[in-house]
Amino acid sequence: MSRDSIQFIRQGRVRRVRDFAPRTTLLDWLRLEERSTGTKEACAEGDCGACTVVLARRRGGRVTYEPVNSCIAFLGQIDGAELITIEDLSRDGVLHPVQAALASGHGSQCGFCTPGIVMSLFAHYHRVSEVMNPVAVSREKIADVLAGNLCRCTGYRPIVDAAVASLAAPVADGFSQTDPERLARLRDLEDGEDVFVGDETSFFAAPADEESLAALLEKHPDATIVAGATDVGLWVTKKLAALPKIVHVGRVAGLDAVADTAETLTLGAALPLGRATPLLGRLDPDVDELMRRFGSTQVRTSGTVGGNIANGSPIGDLAPVLISLGATVELRKGDRVRTLPLERFFLAYGKQDREPGEFVRRLVVPKPSAETRLRVFKITKRMDEDISAVMGAFAVTLRHDRIASARVAFGGMAGVPKRAVAVEAALTGARLADPATWRAAAQKIGEDFSPLTDQRGTAAYRLQVAKTIVVKALAELAGVPGTATRVRPRASAGERPNDREAAHVAS
């Protein structure tokens, strides 16, 4: 069955909306239709966080509170959730603990960005209440939480101080106290029906299962597939794209499934990056750190594993890592399912091996063997929430003192994420401890890549950085400490990935 409206909970009651353009953003609906203007618009690209709202959803039998950038989220994506905005936090004139701490600690001046900051900390307040891990209230963790929120006036010291004060001993707020009722209301929204709002020429659709998704895309191969909209949303806000047909995959049952075995990690295409973080982080501390720097909490909440691959960006963070590990991608069109090596999925800039009406189904990632060492380097202009200028991933298999094999992949060095086959050939069979090996392999970069010059770096800069990354990776594998090669050294050998980031698990 299919329904012709989206449904969500808003301020304690179920709202059903059927009259909206497919490309309507959540922020526009809030400000222009509902007239809830506490949520602000600033960058309109998901960077500054002034537009942050929270979606409450039922996951694993409990309510989760997840921050999202409403400026690039489509209204239809909130089907089945509860929408919480800055207007909803105070009760009977009493501020929420996060609001009270920011007010008393002078954590706000103009107030334009404050609503988004409050909503990010409100979501984290609930994660802290769930995990009760000291790491979750550290200043370092709070800085991560606020990486997607820009304060233009106050400076972060009083904001972080206020966050620490409010999170030190979180008490059950008005939301936590009513979670059982909220959980029941959210469960009632899970009707398992396909959503189709509009007509055959213009619609927002959200299929409930994979069969419906495949059939809909076969019928409308010209439709835009949307997962988290962290990329597609910018097509609307920056390129002013019309997007008359949108197919949202976030409601497809099982498309976010995970299979974790001793040999492989299989990730459904619709799995949000925030939920994938602890799984990928366990592969290696470098991957854990990469995921920490992957956009912001808001971006990781919405963005998906499959979306980061399917958009084909040459600077996407996941592709080089997964290519170095030998990952495969599974695609479906109609009843046909096919699998190909991920490195062959990317054909040219803006072009992938994906037919009209075909969608990414899942990714299968081989886990590193006991003899394989992984190193990942992300080079950006700033540490947090920035797009890579150059990204390098190295999976090197060692036998005694020699390199038995190597898979090396780069992003930002070509029109697609790509393996450095000349570098790999130079490394295979070489002695790891010989610095001459490092330099010889690094010089092969020029045979593998002819990068472009753009706003993130010149071609000469990219070539030099890539050579340096090769040397750093091999030096670390040979025993050079990370303090000599990294701004932020790798986790120590005895530290499990995500022990430092325990609060991500609740995301």
d(CA 152, CA 114): 10
**Is residue 235 exposed (0-12), middle (13-18) or buried (19+ Cβ within 10 Å)?**
middle
Distances (CA, A) of 504 to 131, 257, 301, 491: 10, 18, 10, 17
d(CA 373, CA 478): 11
CB < 8 Å & 24+ apart, contacts of 223-228 = 223/247, 225/249, 225/310, 225/359, 226/74, 226/77, 226/250, 227/269, 227/270, 227/303, 227/304, 227/306, 227/307, 227/310, 228/272, 228/273, 228/299, 228/302, 228/303, 228/304, 228/307
Q: Please count the other Cβ atoms lying within 10 Å of the Cβ belonging to residue 62.
A: 13
**Tokens matching residue 109:** 């001046």
Query: In whole angstroms, what is the distance from residue 502 CA to residue 504 CA?
Result: 5
Q: Give the number of other CB atoms < 10 A from CB of residue 129.
A: 18
Q: What does the alpha-carbon distance between residue 501 and residue 124 come to, in Å, rounded to a whole number?
A: 13
DSSP annotation of 32 reads: I
Per-residue pLDDT for the chain (507 aa), expressed as one digit of tens each?
A: 799 999 999 999 999 999 999 999 999 999 999 999 999 999 999 999 999 999 999 998 899 999 999 999 999 999 999 999 999 999 888 999 999 999 999 998 888 999 999 999 999 999 886 655 666 788 889 999 999 999 878 888 999 999 998 888 777 888 988 999 999 999 999 999 999 999 999 999 999 999 999 999 999 999 999 999 999 999 999 999 999 999 999 999 999 999 999 999 999 999 999 999 999 999 999 999 999 999 999 999 999 999 999 988 888 899 999 999 999 999 999 999 999 999 999 999 989 999 999 999 999 999 999 999 999 999 998 888 888 999 999 999 999 889 999 999 999 999 999 999 999 999 999 999 999 999 999 999 999 999 999 888 899 999 999 999 999 999 999 999 988 898 878 875 445 444 433 333 333
C-alpha dihedral over 77, 68, 501, 99, to 10 degrees? -140
Q: Please, what is the Cα angle at 252 between 247 and 258, to 5 degrees?
A: 130
For 453, the token pair is: 């010059």
The predicted pLDDT at position 507 comes to 33
Sign, CA torsion 347/352/355/360: positive
Please report which helix (H) or strand (E) contains residue 225, including its range: strand 224-226
pTM: 0.92
Report the run of H or E that residue 341 belongs to, with start and end: strand 336-341
Q: Considering Cα of 148, then 149, then 153, then 154, what sign does the dihedral take?
A: negative
Of residues 410, 479, 482, 402, the one with CA closest to residue 444: 410
Phi, psi for 399 (deg, rounded to 5):
-130, 110
Domains of the chain: 2-188 (3.10.20.30), 194-248 (3.30.43.10), 258-502 (3.30.390.50)
pLDDT at 133: 60
**Do the beta carbons of residue 280 and residue 258 sit within 8 Å?**
no
